[in-house]
Amino acid sequence: MTTPTNPAIARLVDRQMRNWELARAQRLSRPEPARSEVEEFVCLSRMVGIGDEVATGIAERLGWPVFDKQLLDAMAGDDRRRRRIYASMDERDLGWWREALAPLVWRQTTRNDYFHRLCETLLSLARQGSAVFVGRGADRILPADLGLRVRLIAPLELRARWYAEAAGGSLVAARREIARIEGERGRFLRAHFDVDALDPLRHDLTLNLGRLDPRQAIEIVLAARPLAARSRSRQRVGAEPGCSPATG
């Protein structure tokens, strides 16, 4: 079933899908001796009130699309767009996709069609093309030993001011709305992943935008990507049978 989508959101989805297809085409044009489970990705989790500057800046620098809550929700509710993604998957992709999807869906105590479609969409996008994913528990859906997971934080007073400026409302209304949205996010993560929204161990890197401006945060994330990849590579080698930690 396809859920009606705001025309402005639909245009944003189409634009990011074009960027995703371009990134996918570039990957397919390069020889790949070994295929990873998914393509490179960055997951961004941000406190309510923090804007899009860091996510869009990272995506622009890397030439990747960015998929946030609005776009992922729209795609999860649009059968046509999901079929467009699935159509580009081969049998090996589909086999991995079913295997990765099963534990996410089976652990749900009651069937949730939206969550099922969200997981399908995220896994399909990440399997075939690099992207920046913002929110929606992407850090829990995508493979834990791949990608970079970043948390953006800032003091409440700053976030309330930013939210009020963006929404055109008062600081009091902004604080109330921030509390409401944070409550919704917490319930979503607890219900589907049994995790605390504020757990710092979900992330590789936490950046305080009360101390850093968006440009500095973007540079830090870009510098951290290869470092995180090398660290995980060493961890995988160390975990192989017959390997033991170095001593000295």
CATH number at residue 137: 3.40.50.300
Contacts of 71 (CB under 8 A, 6+ apart): 9, 12, 13, 16
Tell whether the model's pLDDT for residue 248 goes beyond 50. no
- Is 142 a member of any domain? yes
Which tokens in the block code for residue 175? 């604080």
Tell whether the model's pLDDT for residue 245 goes beyond 50. no
pLDDT in tens, 63-104: 999 998 878 777 777 777 667 666 766 677 777 777 777 777
Considering the chain, what percentage of its residues have pLDDT values greater than 70?
Answer: 74
- Is 89 a member of any domain? yes
Instruction: Give the domain range for residue 68.
Output: 37-223
Q: How confident is the model at residue 168 (pLDDT cuts 50, 70, 90)?
A: very high
Tell whether the model's pLDDT for residue 6 goes beyond 90. no
- For residue 34, the model assigns a pLDDT of 56
- Is 189 a member of any domain? yes
Rounded distance, CA 88 to CA 22, Å?
A: 13
- Is 16 a member of any domain? no
Rounded distance, CA 194 to CA 187, Å?
A: 9
- Is 152 a member of any domain? yes
Window from 47-56, 196-205, 210-219, 239-248 with minimum mean pLDDT: 239-248
Tell whether the model's pLDDT for residue 49 goes beyond 90. yes
DSSP state of 2: P
Read off the amino acid at residue 172: V
Tell whether the model's pLDDT for residue 17 goes beyond 90. no
pLDDT in tens, 190-205: 988 888 988 999 999 9
Q: How many residues does the chain have?
A: 248
Number of domains in the chain: 1
- Is 233 a member of any domain? no
Tell whether the model's pLDDT for residue 33 goes beyond 90. no
- Distance set, CA 159 to CA 148, 150, 210, 212, 240 (Å): 24, 18, 9, 14, 44
Contacts of 69 (CB under 8 A, 6+ apart): 134, 135, 136
